[in-house]
Structure 1
Amino acid sequence: MIVRIMGEGQVRLEDSHFAELNKLDDELLEEMENGDSEGFRRTLSQLLDAVRRMGAPLPDDALEPSELILPAEDATLEEVREMLGDDGLIPS
């Protein structure tokens, strides 16, 4: 799957990594619902770090369609809330 982190670029991520990412996504969703801005910031950073670590970066000139778009690390709680689907940022 091709994943875009807003403001950074794209990575190719194997489907086998999504179980770990979904755990972080669930935590992020819970923190957002509870208004835990400190937890939200920490978990968003962990989620993006995991995508960077597990994904293979695509060249800057690659024009692959992104199947999943994640917010930038400095995104606000409100900006992320607008990006959420029924299953959070990452579909189950």
Structure 2
Amino acid sequence: MIVRIMGEGQLDVADSHFAQLNKLDDELLAEMEGGDEEGFRRTLGALLEAVRRLGAPLPDDALEPSELILPGPDASLDEVRQMLRDDGLIPG
């Protein structure tokens, strides 16, 4: 799946990694619902780092449609809330 991190670029992340990413997404959602700003920052950073580590970067000139768009590391809690689906940032 092609994942875009806003402000950084696109990565190709194998479907087999999404169970691990969904765990972080669930934590992020719980922290957001509880208003835990510190936990939100920590987990958003961990989620983005996992995507970077597990994904293969696409060349800057690649024109692939992003199937999933994640906020950048400096996104606010309110900005991320606007991006959420019913099941978090990552479907599934």
Instruction: Indicate the SS of the match to 1:42.
Output: helix
Task: Give 1:46's aligned residue.
Answer: 46
- Structure 2: 5+ residue stretches without partners: none
Distance 1:73 1:79 in 2: 11
Instruction: Indicate the SS of the match to 1:20.
Output: helix
Task: Give 1:91's aligned residue.
Answer: 91
Task: Give 2:57's aligned residue.
Answer: 57
* Equivalent pairs, count: 92
Output the aligned Cα RMSD.
Answer: 0.2
AA in 2 matched with 1:25: D
TM-score, length basis structure 1: 1.00
Instruction: Indicate the SS of the match to 1:90.
Output: coil
Deviations for 1:55-77, whole angstroms, at most 9, x for unmatched residues?
A: 00000000000000000000000
Q: Using the aligned pairs only, state the percent identity.
A: 79
| 2:47 aligned with 1:74 | no
Distance 1:33 1:11 in 2: 28
Instruction: Indicate the SS of the match to 1:75.
Output: coil
Distance 2:75 2:83 in 1: 11
